[in-house]
Chains A and B, each alone.
Chain A
Amino acid sequence: MMRRRVVITGMGVITPLGHSVEALFAASVEGRTAVGPITHFDARTFPTTFASEVKNFDLANYLPQAERFRHFGVNTHYALAAGQMALAQAGLLEVTGDRTRMGVYLGSGEGKEDFEALVTSTAKATQPGERTCNIRDAVGWLYQRLNGPQEKEQEMFVPSGQLANEFVLEGPFASCQTACAASSQAIGEALEMIRANEADVILAGGSHSMITPLGISGFNRLTALSQRNDSPQTASRPFDRTRDGFVIGEGAGLLVLEELEHAKARNAPILAELTGYGSTADAFRMTDPHPEGQGAIRAMAEAIADAQLQPADIGYINAHGTSTQANDVAETKAIKAVFGPQAYQIPISSSKSMLGHLIAAAGAVELIITVMALRHGIIPPTINYQTPDPECDLDYVPNRAREARFRHALSNSFGFGGQNVALVVSAFTD
């Protein structure tokens, strides 16, 4: 029996570089960045004072009675807006077709944290000079100070559940959190659900923001973030020798994945075909990737094989490219292992150089950029690339976009915890 083919029929984004796929891609091709001082809270004394923030976002532009969602976290807001755009493009916003065959698979993170209630409640129950608090009192203060209606909407099933309820997607659902690989994994496993005939359509992707006091604090303590506070816009410099960590971003990217015959039958716009998926674990360390990219190699190789292609068929790689010392070297080694000498001929770029790292949402937004690159024949650059690193010696499309026609592209996502995901998208031909 022929395997069911899956195509992309809609895409939507909320990102620091634009609130539409077109705006995001135009900014990417121009090599713009939205990185700047953190405005969501006062981070002026943090080790890292900048981020790539979503600006001027208003949920009311996308949904009626948006005030319904005032208690929700931005992860839900961004997901709803991006989902609305993707479904509108796919022609599925109107409730037609068998909605029990349409589902949701979202990679998303924690919701909004009430930093002030946490800190004041704990502090009020801690004696001066002590390192531990009186738990009984702290719990009492938390119960008084946390906002119940707001807390209720921060549960981790909420973003995926709201997408399903709002857009009448009553079929299979899932929601994963595998750190920076989450939305790519969501897209890959959604592909498999459609192939397995459990659904015909899945709204898949990710939504996340960790530009919060606890998010920045946590990453700062791990020394994962760039601390180039005097030059935020050049801080994200994947594959450059002077890179010093990633720049945190936020946003959402959602794609309508649809079984090919289903899409044809309703004359849906076919943007590209999702042809390959590979998923592996490093089994190495909590944060560091395997130094030789062992798991990344297999993820890429599996995705290419799953697409029934050879490495030579891949015309562009959208790298994970975080701008951390460890990732960029390991990813470069992994690409060389998979592609051999041809690795030097393939254009590779990192969207994170412009967008920052959208964590759970990163892979989905980067796949959308990859689809646009495929459709328009233009590869967005890796910006801020100035100083070559002898250990990163491939073609990273430095600083300027490049015209290139290709039929198949690979997008990588690797996460804290050792999850490696690779996806292959292909130009659609019947």
Chain B
Amino acid sequence: MVSRSRRLVLTGLGILSPLGLSAEAFWQALVAGTSGIRTISLMDASRLPTHIAGEVPGFSAKAMIEKSYRKTLNAMARTVELGVIGAQLAMQNAGLGKGTVPPQRIGIEFASLMGATDLNDMAAAAKLTSPDGETVNYATWGREGLNEIIPMWMLKYLPNMPACHTTILYDIQGPSNTQIPGDAAGLIALAEAGRIIRRHAADVMVVGSSEGRLNPITLARYNLFLELSRRNDDPAGAVRPFDATRDGTVSGEGAAVFILEDLDHATRRGANILAEVVGWSSGVDRGLSGQGLARVIRHALAMAQISPAEVDHVNAHGTGTTTGDAFEARGIAAVFGTQTRVYAPLPQFGNLGAASGLMELAASVLALHQGQLPGTINHTQPDPNCPVYVHTGRPQPVTQPYVVKVSYTPLGQCAAVVIRKWNP
């Protein structure tokens, strides 16, 4: 059996989201039911079928980054900036600074993706290489174009750069890993961080995620193959989880970073505990029947040694896609029937990809902590293909101590995490 010798608690949270630049702003907006989905302003996306998204409003890396590290910003794409500053917020929230924990006893797990290049990083090189915008002359690219590209170009976009910069900023010398399995990456990172603490390879782990997908290349790509809502005229109402009228998801950006800590370590330093992590599991649902997702949820409940009746709510990915929501609902319903509330916060900030799992989890961590569960917005017409009970409307009291969080990728890679309300 899995070693249960060490208990794992969340002691810090940093959020940069379409709902604001702090965890407080995030929570206030969740409770108020307001939406962070708007017409994209970071770039002119009017030529794309879907040009609404969840942008982090007023984000300035220069204003928020530790002063000593400001000069490194020119080596960071926006997704990296979001991740590093999200980690700063989490460390501050946990009362941790450089050296608070012996460097070798703190590690990092990040969920991330390869960033797409800023087009203006290669515009001059591209023009030289393809004067007519139709054909590419490789010889010119190699001979002249390359010299137009900044030397640090590649480093701006590598997936492991949020973790890399965070380790340098805080002298983090324990294990450092970066997870890339899409929307499931955040929960996979959290589970791995849990294993690392349980095997005593660290006492504290930064468990983070960031996503800056609102750039020209990524948005063009996603418009080509993701099911995106065409409700450009109604951004706030665009994503409709498990609703009969849903027509796709909306992209978002942001960072969600937790501090995960051995309970004894947290207690000794008088840390503020947000919630306990008590179970996790992952597995692949080939064919998206829902049975595989149900199995993963049951494994996570078994690790937590609890029954479905002890679960206050299931925090769903709830992307608002036709097949995605139906798949997810089948899996949840197979374990919980229609008895347990399902909460899907995504329509308020969009699908944050690599950052989706931990951002969505943050909503439930705050709900347990505050004792109130906000309602899912935009769910008005239940869909018989989504046989789950979706919690909507005004916030309701939390009545049970546990939450199950679910994430998945389109290839059926499912992950679940169980958290427990912290009672000192």
Contact = CB atoms under 8 A, between A and B. Distances in A.
A176 B180 contact: yes
Interface string A113-144: 00110111111111010111101111111110
Contact of B184 (A157, A177, A418): A157
A156 B120 contact: no
A219 B167 contact: no
Nearest to B287: A165
Interface in B278-297: 281-286, 292, 295
B244 interface: no
A283 B284 contact: no
Contact of A281 (B127, B133, B149, B175): B175
A194 to B, nearest CB: 11
A164 interface: yes
A221 B154 contact: yes
A218 B154 contact: yes
Interface stretch (B22-30, B58-66, B219-227, B366-374): B219-227
Nearest to A283: B167
Nearest to A162: B411
Interface stretch (B82-90, B138-146, B253-261): B138-146
Contact of B221 (A146, A189, A294): A146
A209 to B, nearest CB: 14
Interface stretch (B102-110, B267-275, B310-318, B381-389): B102-110
Nearest to B45: A139
A140 B195 contact: no
A173 B281 CA distance: 9
Contacts of B104: 280, 298
A114 to B, nearest CB: 9
A222 B151 CA distance: 5
A283 B182 contact: no
Contact of A185 (B108, B149, B170, B177): B177
Interface stretch (B155-163, B235-243, B323-331, B335-343): B155-163
B2 A283 contact: no
Nearest to A154: B221
A198 B46 contact: no
Nearest to B43: A135
A281 B167 contact: yes
A178 B216 contact: no
Contact of B168 (A147, A214, A284): A284
B250 to A, nearest CB: 17
Interface in A158-191: 158, 160-162, 164-165, 168-179, 185, 189
A151 interface: yes
Contacts of A220: 146
Contacts of A141: 133
A100 B296 CA distance: 9
A287 B124 CA distance: 26
A267 interface: no
Interface string B108-140: 100011100101101111110111111110111
Given A126-B126, A152-B225, A196 B411 contact: no
A136 B151 CA distance: 27
A97 to B, nearest CB: 15
Contacts of A132: 120, 123
A42 interface: yes
A389 to B, nearest CB: 26
Contacts of A123: 123, 126-127, 129-133
B158 A416 contact: yes
Contacts of A197: 1-2
A108 interface: yes
A341 interface: no
Contacts of B199: 192, 195-196
Which interface residue of A43, A179, A214, A281 has the most chain B CB atoms within 10 A? A281
Which interface residue of B138, B163, B174, B216 has the most chain A CB atoms within 10 A? B216
A65 interface: no
A161 B154 contact: no
A275 to B, nearest CB: 15
Interface stretch (A44-52, A242-250, A254-262): A44-52
A301 to B, nearest CB: 11
Given A46-B146, A119-B141, A193-B195, A198 B286 contact: no
A307 to B, nearest CB: 14
B136 A417 contact: no
A160 B161 CA distance: 21
Contacts of B134: 120, 124
A43 B136 CA distance: 13
B180 A177 contact: yes
Given A130-B123, A196-B3, A286 B161 contact: yes
A119 B220 contact: no
B364 interface: no
Interface string B398-415: 000000000001011100
Which interface residue of A148, A172, A222, A415 has the most chain B CB atoms within 10 A? A172
A280 to B, nearest CB: 6
Contacts of A119: 122, 125-126, 129-130, 136, 141
Contact of B284 (A42, A46, A120, A161): A161
B94 to A, nearest CB: 18
Given A157-B411, A174-B188, A221-B151, A285 B181 contact: no
A417 B164 contact: yes
Given A157-B409, A280-B175, A283-B167, A131 B123 contact: yes
B67 interface: no
A176 B179 contact: yes
Contacts of B127: 122-123, 126, 128, 130
Contact of A135 (B119, B135, B184): B119
Which interface residue of A162, A173, A189, A416 has the most chain B CB atoms within 10 A? A173
A131 B122 CA distance: 8
B101 interface: no
A233 interface: no
A109 interface: yes
A285 B168 contact: yes
Given A115-B136, A119-B130, A221-B146, A178 B178 contact: yes
A138 B180 contact: no
A29 B16 CA distance: 53
Interface in B172-222: 172-185, 188, 192, 195-196, 198-199, 201, 216-217, 219-221
Contacts of B130: 119-120, 123-124
Contacts of A121: 133
B153 interface: yes
B154 A222 contact: yes
Which interface residue of A141, A185, A419 has the most chain B CB atoms within 10 A? A419
Which interface residue of B3, B120, B152, B165 has the most chain A CB atoms within 10 A? B120
B73 to A, nearest CB: 13
Rank and list the top 4 A-B pairs by shortest CB-CB distance, nearest first.
A124-B133, A218-B154, A161-B411, A45-B142
Interface of A: 41-47, 100, 103-104, 108-110, 115-116, 118-126, 128, 130-133, 135-143, 146-149, 151-152, 155-158, 160-162, 164-165, 168-179, 185, 189, 192-193, 195-198, 213-214, 217-223, 279-287, 294-295, 298, 302, 415-419
Given A43-B142, A126-B123, A178-B177, 11 more contacts: A45-B142, A135-B216, A140-B48, A143-B223, A146-B224, A147-B224, A192-B199, A197-B1, A280-B104, A283-B170, A415-B160
17 contacts: A44-B142, A119-B141, A135-B216, A148-B224, A157-B180, A157-B411, A161-B411, A164-B413, A165-B286, A171-B282, A172-B283, A173-B413, A177-B178, A220-B146, A280-B104, A294-B173, A416-B164
